[in-house]
Amino acid sequence: MLAVEGLSKEYGPETRVIDDLSFTVGRGASLTIIGPSGCGKSTLLYIMAGLMRPTAGRVLIDGNEVVAPSRQVGFILQDFGLLPWKTVKENLCLGMRIRKMSKEEQESRSRDILAYLGLELHGDKFPDRLSGGERQRLAVGRALVLEPSLLLMDEPFSSLDTLTRERLQNTMLEIRSQKELTMVTVTHSIEEAVFLGDSIMVLGGRPCNIRALIPNPGAGDPDYRNREQFFEVCRRVRRAVEAP
Ligand code: ADP
């Protein structure tokens, strides 16, 4: 479904961040990406989202090259990208308004998604009146309301406390299976990478390359965090992250 082929990115002379990167993610699969700060993970996501052009190579979704942002791809940014001067409902409708959907369609989709994410009582509030977890759910809702087939997330839960974070990770598992989403998540957390990813890609080096691609067949089980296999995969990822 998603194919990255021979991707390279230079920000200028001598600043090659990504060099000849290739991988695929099957439809409905979840890939998590982990690697040191500054290795090019956000750059890779921006290119996959069509927000930035690569220097060489290409990204394909269902065989079509990504050259600009499209409705097929939802993107959740590190700081959620919410507009503080717009209400929850207005934030939710932003993408639909840009795509000139009818008022009725906007109303019905935003009502459904607010209920789906347990935010139905918050539609008229401003984002600063929400808790961190609610703001995060709103950001997820804003991406889902356009019904993408691919969801990209850049360290989506890093600002949340552990319990809220784990609850939202569970929510993402449910959403993924109910909506048959393909997911690519960048994270700094080894546990998050192992809980969310059917496979975990460890990036490193400058320019960055794939240090390891670790299969993780146990992911998808809400109780996975308590299983020995979970800890075993965490140890494998840690070894790959820490390898010189
Ligand atoms: P990560 O997400 O892994 O922390 P980034 O993709 O944000 O890494 O950045 C990778 C490298 O590219 C960093 O060294 C960063 O300073 C550099 N970089 C990112 N954006 C730009 C830009 N617009 N111009 C020049 N260099 C950039």
Report residue 203's pLDDT band, with 50, 70 and 90 as the boundaries. Answer: very high
* Residue 50 predicted with pLDDT over 90: yes
Question: Which of 9, 43, 184, 187 to mutate for ligand 1's pocket (most ligand atoms within 8 Å of CB)?
Answer: 43
Write the residue with the smallest CA distance to atom 14 of ligand 1: 38
- Whether residue 207 contacts residue 40, with contact meaning beta carbons closer than 8 Å, is answered with yes
CATH code reported for the domain at 2-72+150-242: 3.40.50.300
Tell me, in angstroms, the distance from the centre of ligand 1 to residue 40's CA.
6
Tell me the pLDDT tens digit for each residue of 140-193: 888 888 889 999 999 888 878 888 889 889 988 888 888 889 999 999 999 999
Write the residue with the smallest CA distance to atom 23 of ligand 1: 11
Distance CA 236, CA 233 (A): 5
Q: Which atom of ligand 1 is nearest to the CA of 203?
A: 3
- Whether residue 118 contacts residue 98, with contact meaning beta carbons closer than 8 Å, is answered with no
pTM of the model: 0.91
User: In which residue ranges of the chain is CATH 3.40.50.300 found?
Assistant: 2-72+150-242
Question: What does the pLDDT read at residue 102?
Answer: 92
Distance CA 27, CA 35 (A): 24
Share of the chain above pLDDT 70, in %: 100
